[in-house]
Structure 1
Amino acid sequence: MIRHVAGQYILVFLLFFSVDTFPQQDSLSFLALGDSYTAGTSELTINSWPLQFAQLMDKKGVPLKPPTILAGAGWTTDDLLSEINTSNLETEYDLVSLLIGVNNQYRGLDIDQFKDQFKELLDKSVKLAGNNTSRVFVLSIPDWGVTPFARFKDKDKIRRELTTYNAIIEVETEKRGILFIEITKLSQQALWNKSLIASDSLHPSAKMYKDWAKKIQKKVLKQFP
C-alpha cells in the first residue's frame, strides 16, 4: 500500500480452476480493479480475495474464468484511472469489482479530487460491465489503522478519514444502483486477531482475504441473474 509499484496487468491462470459442472464457454469473465488489497500484496496471488472469490463462486455453480486483476501496491484513484486507460483490457466483462482509495487517504490527497476520480472509476467500471450496473460491485476501504504497521500512527485520525472516504464511496455507489459491500468491519477484527495480517504487518493475510471472499460471494449471489 505504501510503496508505489510499477503498473501490472495480471491475467491469472490456475489449474485448480477446472470447471466440472459447466463447459468453459459458460464461465463468466471477472475483472477486479483496485490497489494492493485486490492484488494480494504480501500474499501469493492464489490467496488474494479475487481468486478465493472465484473458487467460491465455482462451488456454487457460477463458474468464473481466471480473474483479470488490474491492481497494484500504492495505487491511488489517479493511478488506477491511468492504468485502465493504457492497459489492453477486454471491451466487456461479465463481472467487475472496484476497491480503491486507501492510498489517497494515506498520502493525504485532496478528498474532492478523490470523489471526482472515484465517480469516474465507477462510470468506467459500469462501461466495462457492458453498461449493466447489476454486474458491478464495490468494496469499502479496509481499516489499516488496526495493523501493527500503524502502531505509531494516529489511529483515530485514520479511522475518521477512512469513514469519510467510505461514506463517499457508499453514497456514489448506491446512487448508481451498484452493489456496495462493506468489509471494513471485517478488517478491524485484525485488532485482536493477528492471524488476519500478513507477514509485512500491514496487508491482509490469506485468512482475512477468505473472510472477505465469503461475504462478497454471498452478496453477489443474491443479485446474480
Structure 2
Amino acid sequence: MNDLRYLLVVWCLATLLIQAPIFAQTVQLQPTLRILALGDSYTIGESVSPNQRWPIQLGDSLKNRGFVVDTTAIIATTGWTTGNLLAAISAQQLATMDFNLVGLLIGVNNQYQNRPLAEYQVQFAQLLDSAIAYAGGQVDQVFVVSIPDWAYTPFGQASIPGPISQAIDQFNATNKSITEARGVAYIDITPISRNGISEPVLVAGDGLHPSGEQYRRWVQAMLPVLTGDLTSIDPELKMPWSVNVDQETGRFRLFGPEKGELPVRWEMLDMTGRLLETGVIQSDHSWKAERLPAHQMVLLKIFLRNGQCFWLRV
C-alpha cells in the first residue's frame, strides 16, 4: 500500500447527527454567551445538584474552551409538557433579553401522559419558533436536544419498557423533523440514555432521572455540534479501534475489534458534513470506499453495536 497513513481517531459518546450534514446545522457561538435552556425535569436537573444540570455543565465546558458565559437562564420544571412550557414562556419578556444560545428539550411528559402526538407536533413547533425568536431570529444560535429514554431506568423497567421506547422514538422523530426543517442543530442524546441499565451510574438516586454523569456525557455529545470542533471529546474515554487507508485504492482496514463486535455500519462525509457514502464493515475488517476524494480530508463515522460511535478523520 502506498501513501498509507493512520487516522486521527476522535471518540464520540453518541450518534451525534445521523445522515444530515454535520456542520450545515452547527451553532455559531459568540465570544460572550447568554444561554437560555428551555425544558422540563431533564433541563432543571431533577434529583441532581444545580451544578450537575446539563445547562450548567455546558456553560462550564464552554468557559474551559475560552468562552465568556455571561448568563445561564433555565426555564424548566419537573412534569412540564409542551403546553406547560408554552404557558410559562408567554408570561415572560424573553425576546428582549438578548440570548445568543438557546437550547430546547421537551416532550417526555407528553409521552408519559399519553398526550396526542399531533398536539406535540404543533406545540413543539411553536416552542422552537419561540426559541429562535429569543435568539434574535438566528437559527444558528439555537439547538434542540432529543428526549432521553426513561425505559432504561429502574422505574422504566418496572413498567413496560418496550412500548415506552417505541413512543420515545416517535416523539423524537417528530421533534427532529421539525428541527431540521427549520435548519436548527439537533443533538441526539437518546443512545446515551439507553445505557442506563447496563451502567447504573447514569441514573440518579430516584431511579428515574439522569445522573450528573449522564448529563456530563450529554454535554460531551453537544460540544462538537456547538463548537464545530471534533476534538471536543471526553479525555477519560479510551479510543477503541484504529484504521488505516490506502489513498490510491480507497481501501480501509480496521484494527482492534474483537470477535462478535462486527459487522458495524460506517458513513463517510466530506468536511462540510455532506454524506458521500455508507456501508457495512464485515468480519474481514476491511472495506473499499468508492467515493474517497483524492487528496482531501474526509470524516468517517463508525457506529458501534452498543449505540455509540466514533469519528475518524483522514
Rg larger in 1 or in 2?
A: 2
Is the TM-score greater than 0.5?
A: yes
TM-score, with normalisation over the residues of structure 2? 0.62
CA RMSD of aligned residues (A): 1.4
Equivalent residue of 1:137, what SS?
strand
- More moved, 178-187 vs 57-66: 57-66
Q: Find the partner of 1:66 among 67, 71, 79.
A: 71
Matches within 5 A, 1:91-130: 91=96, 92-130=98-136
Counterpart residue number, 2:94: 89
Q: Is the 8 A contact 2:46 2:78 kept in 1?
A: yes
1:173 aligned to 2:199?
no
Q: Give CA deviations for 1:30-71 in whole Å, capped at 9, x if unaligned.
A: 000000000001011110000000011111112212310000
Counterpart residue number, 2:35: 30
Q: Is the 8 A contact 2:38 2:103 kept in 1?
A: yes
Residues of 1 paired with 2:61 and 2:217: CA distance? 11
Equivalent residue of 2:201, what SS?
helix
Deviation of the 1:90 alpha carbon? 5.2
Residues of 1 paired with 2:93 and 2:130: CA distance? 14
Counterpart residue type for residue 173 of structure 2? A
Ranges in structure 1 where 5+ consecutive residues have no aligned partner? 1-25
1:222 aligned to 2:228?
yes
Counterpart residue number, 1:11: none
Equivalent residue of 1:216, what SS?
helix
Number of aligned residue pairs: give it: 199
1:48 aligned to 2:61?
no
Q: Is the 8 A contact 2:82 2:120 kept in 1?
A: yes
Q: Is the 8 A contact 2:95 2:136 kept in 1?
A: no
Q: Give CA deviations for 1:130-186 in whole Å, capped at 9, x if unaligned.
A: 000000000000000010011221111001111010001111000000000000001
Q: Find the partner of 1:79 among 72, 84, 96.
A: 84
TM-score, with normalisation over the residues of structure 1? 0.86
Q: Which has the higher strand share?
A: 2
Matches within 5 A, 1:139-218: 139-218=145-224
Residues of 2 paired with 1:87 and 1:205: CA distance? 30
Runs of 4+ in structure 1 displaced over 6 angstroms? none
Q: Give CA deviations for 1:112-136 in whole Å, capped at 9, x if unaligned.
A: 0010000000100000000000000
Deviation of the 1:187 alpha carbon? 0.7
Q: Percent identity?
A: 38
Q: Is the 8 A contact 2:102 2:134 kept in 1?
A: yes
Counterpart residue type for residue 56 of structure 2? L
Ranges in structure 2 where 5+ consecutive residues have no aligned partner? 1-30, 230-314
Deviation of the 1:87 alpha carbon? 2.8
Q: Which has the higher contact order (CA 8 A, sep 6+)?
A: 2
Residues of 1 paired with 2:89 and 2:63: CA distance? 27
Q: Is the 8 A contact 2:57 2:219 kept in 1?
A: yes
Matches within 5 A, 1:3-42: 27-42=32-47
